């Protein structure tokens, strides 16, 4: 089951840090020491084409990513105008590169360029520290 959350103008497409438990609250997905992990930051602009196809591909990629060695989590949001930010976390650079080079991921990435995205940018960074906060 895919949930949507509205907060501060953003609509979450998926929070698949616990891919087999999509009902998990966001604080369970974002909690954890990130220092030393590789963050792959994907900023995209969606078009209005083929929403069902996009949703299916996004869910499949979230599930596939969660099965990869070195996967540490993902957080994703998209606003009503199509601007989205997805950050996936990886144990090391080799794991992040292996995900980039995964044939199924490459196939969906090509479909995204062809159908679903007007533009995107990818930034890869190493987390030097992390902290979190939650009410209650």
Mean pLDDT of 109-126: 96
User: Does the pLDDT at position 12 exceed 60?
Assistant: no
Summarize pLDDT for 20-45 with one digit per residue, the tens.
Answer: 334 444 444 555 689 999 999 999 99
What is the distance between the alpha carbons of residues 134 and 33, in angstroms, rounded to a whole number? Answer: 15
Transcribe 65-123 into DSSP letters.
HHTSTTEEEEEEEEETTSEEEEEEEESSHHHHHHHHH-HHHHHHHHHIIIIIEEEEEEE
CATH 3.30.70.100 assigned to domain 6-126? The reply is yes
Q: What is the pTM of this model?
A: 0.76
In whole numbers, what is the pLDDT of the chain averaged over residues? 82
Domains of the chain, by residue range, sit at 6-126
Q: What integer is the mean pLDDT of 6-15? A: 40
pLDDT bracket for residue 65 (50, 70, 90) = very high
Position 18 scores a pLDDT of 33
């Amino acid at each position: 089951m895919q949930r949507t959350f509205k907060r501060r103008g953003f609509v979450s497409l998926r929070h698949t840090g616990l891919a087999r438990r999509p009902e998990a609250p966001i604080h369970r997905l974002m909690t954890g020491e990130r220092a030393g992990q590789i963050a792959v930051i994907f900023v995209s602009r969606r078009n209005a084409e083929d929403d069902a196809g996009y949703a299916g591909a996004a869910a499949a990629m979230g599930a596939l990513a969660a099965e990869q060695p070195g996967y540490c989590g993902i957080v994703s949001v998209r606003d009503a105008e199509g601007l989205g930010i997805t950050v996936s976390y990886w144990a090391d650079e080799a794991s992040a590169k292996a995900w980039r080079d995964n044939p199924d991921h490459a196939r969906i990435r090509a479909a995204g360029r062809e159908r679903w995205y007007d533009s995107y940018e990818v930034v890869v960074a190493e987390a030097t520290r992390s902290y979190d906060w939650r009410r209650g």
